[in-house]
Structure 1
Amino acid sequence: MPLVVEFAAQDPARLARWWAEVLGWTVVDETGVRPDGPGVPLRFRPADGAKTGQNDVHLDLRSESHDEQTRLVERLFNHGARFADIGQSTEVPWVVMTDVEGNELCALEPRKAYACTGPLAAVVVATTDPREQARAWAEELDYDVLAEQSEFAALRPPSGEGPHLEFLHDDNPHPGMLRILPG
């Protein structure tokens, strides 16, 4: 069963176009974006209200070199993304930004683990129990477990292609405007 990432958006069509442009994917009937290669579909629905606080789901974007990471950050910024401070250290090698509706994302430094993911390296979920969530989603999606620790767990599609599904420990996850769904 495939994974779907769903955004609640003030302007679903605009946000779908934005993500399609920055990922190089295809807009599907203004409510979705599909990958043209490895990836997971993104779906957009009208939000019940304005975004408040940090999301408990965010997307990590892949780069193959430090120069490509710099170009990715520039492209995101030129498309309307903004830099964000979510409490990350100044020492982290990734760049935290938000899309045009304030949804957090990370432009990652090069990592070999994401070589076959396509432009979307990982879908990252904050949760109180990464192991439990990883086990449940691995069974639901038939994904392979890559890592399983108390603070972090990671899954990937059995083909080895497409983004990882990662779970990070957070004592107080922030339900927000993104969520993951079985497809």
Structure 2
Amino acid sequence: MASRISELVLACRDPELLARFWCEVLDFVVLDREDDGAIEIGPREGFGGAQPTIILSPQEDLSPAHTYRLHIDVNATDRDQDAELERLLKLGARRADVGQSGEEPWHVLADPEGNVFCLLRRRLDPL
């Protein structure tokens, strides 16, 4: 009965620059490039392995009032997304609005101190 950290999402001005830097630092590779300029880097085995991937998300305004620089994405390991959402809400998480459309396949939540994180749809092996 748990979730796993699957991704760390870092808001940044220059995803390409940070992708090169962190790939060298961590011996990661570029796993995906999104149309919005986001870049996912991670271990050669890809998403869902023992290490979380890092998504470098382009943001023009990085002031504290406009964005969280780092947030965690989690995936359920032993239940579907709806059941995990219910469990997290009972544990004290609450829904958070960071400007999402409502059509995303993930849920944006905040922990009891207000730190934003996302619950993704895909279930992962607990490892």
* Short-chain TM bin: 0.3 to 0.5
User: Normalising to structure 2: TM-score of the pair?
Assistant: 0.44
